[in-house]
Structure 1
Amino acid sequence: MEKAELRRSLLKTRQSMSVAQWKQSSDRICTYITNSPLFTQAKTILAYFSFKKEPDLGSLFANISFDGGQDTQTRKTWGFPRCVGDSLCWHLYTKDSLQKSAYGIIEPHADAPTIKPEEVDLIIIPSVGCDRQGYRLGYGGGYYDRLLSSPEWATKPTIGIVFDFAYLPQLPIEPWDQPLQNVCTEMGLTKVRS
C-alpha cells in the first residue's frame, strides 16, 4: 500500500474511534510515558497538542502551574512546535502563549520564548502510523524528518505516539525518512532502535 493510501486508511480508522475509546487509549499512553525513564530523567520535553483525534497527551501537562515555563509539579520544561515555512520552531509552553494556526492547530505565539536544541532531553512526536523499525508515517509535510535529519536534533531521544492499530510491522519508506528510537501505544512503550 502506498503512503497516501495508508495515511487515509489510518486516519479514517482513528476518526472512527469513540470519544471514550480515544480518551482511554490516550490516558494509557500517558501512563506508559510518565513511567518511563526517558520521561522521568528528562528536564526539557518537546511535545504536541492533539489534533484530529491524535493521541491526547494533555494529561501530561494539564492542570499544573507554571513558573517561567517550568511545570512546578514535575519540574519539567515543556516546548511545543510552531510551523515556520517548512520547519518547526520550538517555543516554551506557558498558558498564555497559545493560539490557533491557520490549520486549526494549537501552537505557541511567535513571540513566545524559543527552546534551543541543546536544552532538549526528549521529543514526543505525533504520528499517523509507526512501524517496528521506528519509521513514522506523518501527514506528508516532512517537518519531523527535516528536524531529525539536522545534526543538532539527530541524537535526541524520540518517542513516536500512535494508537496500537497504527503500529505496523513495516511502513513504505523513502530515503529521507528518519527513524524514531521508541514507539508508544496504549499497549506499551517499545524501544525500537538505539
Structure 2
Amino acid sequence: MQKNSPVLATHDIRKKVRQRRRELDSSLRYQAEQSIYQQLQQHPKILAAKHIAIFLSFDGELNTQPIIEYLWQQNKSVYLPIIHPFNRKHLMFLRYDRHTQLARNQFGILEPKLNVNHVIPFHQLNVVLTPLVAFDHRNYRIGMGGGYYDRLLADYQKTSVYPIGIAFNCQQIAHIDNQPWDVQLPEIISA
C-alpha cells in the first residue's frame, strides 16, 4: 500500500494545481503572462535560438499564442509536439506556421497533422518551452501524467537542447517527491 502513496499524492497535487491554474483571476493571469512574455523576449537562449519547440495552451495553461507570434516575427522556426505515430509513448516535433493544419489528439490537445517534411529531430532544437502542471524550487516538474516530457528530456544534457519550463507562480508547490526518471529542468520562468 505504501508503494502507491506517491502516485496518489502526485495525482492529488495535479488535480489541485490544475484547478488553481484554471481559476486564476483574469487580471492576475494577464499580468503574469505579460511578465513571462517579457522574460522570454529578453532571454539569451531565445534570442540566440533558431529552432524553438513550444506547446499550444490547454486546460488553463499560460497562453502561448503571443509567444508563438513573437517568435514568428523574429524569424524563428517554431515547432509543436505530436504524439509519435509509431511509438505512442514518445513525442516528435513538427514545424508550425500560420498555415499548419491542426487536429485534436487522444487527449483533446491540438497538434499539427503529421507531415514528414516538417519533422525536426529533437537534437536539432535549440530551446524546448516545456509545459508543466506543478513545479518546485529545485525545478522538478509534474506534468499531465503521461511521462512524455520526462522521456523526451531524459538525456537532453547530451545535446545542445535547452529546456525552459513556463508556468504561473500559483503552480509552484513546496516539494515534488521526484522519482529517478523525473527530469530536473535547468530553468523555469514563472510570474
Could you tell me the TM-score, scaled by structure 2's length?
0.85
Residue aligned with 2:153, SS: helix
1:30 aligned partner: 37
Contact 2:92/2:119 (8 A) holds in 1: yes
Correspondence list, 1:36-51, <5 A: 36-51=43-58
User: What is the Cα deviation at residue 100 of structure 1?
Assistant: 2.3
Distance 1:27 1:48 in 2: 18
Residue aligned with 1:161, SS: strand
User: What is the Cα deviation at residue 119 of structure 1?
Assistant: 2.1
Correspondence list, 1:91-102, <5 A: 91-97=94-100, 98-102=102-106
- Corresponding position: 1:158 with 2:147: no
Contact 1:135/1:177 (8 A) holds in 2: yes
User: What is the Cα deviation at residue 32 of structure 1?
Assistant: 0.9
2:147 aligned partner: 142
1:59 aligned partner: 66
Unaligned runs of 5+ in 2: 1-5
Which amino acid letter does the alignment assign opposite residue 97 of structure 2? T
Distance 1:53 1:28 in 2: 17
User: What is the Cα deviation at residue 131 of structure 1?
Assistant: 1.4
Question: Residues 16-62 of structure 1, C-alpha deviation per residue, up to 9 Å, x if partnerless?
Answer: 11334323322221111111111111111010000011011211223
Relative distance call for 1:135 and 1:152 in structure 2 (3 A) is: closer
Distance 2:89 2:68 in 1: 27
1:90 aligned partner: 93
Question: Residues 74-100 of structure 1, C-alpha deviation per residue, up to 9 Å, x if partnerless?
Answer: 021100000121111100012222222
Alignment RMSD: 2.1
**Equivalent residue pairs, number:** 179
Distance 2:68 2:111 in 1: 15
Relative distance call for 1:103 and 1:132 in structure 2 (3 A) is: same
Correspondence list, 1:63-82, <5 A: 71=72, 73-82=73-82
More helix by share: 2
Relative distance call for 1:151 and 1:163 in structure 2 (3 A) is: closer
Could you tell me the TM-score, scaled by structure 1's length?
0.84
1:67 aligned partner: none
Unaligned runs of 5+ in 1: 65-69, 187-194
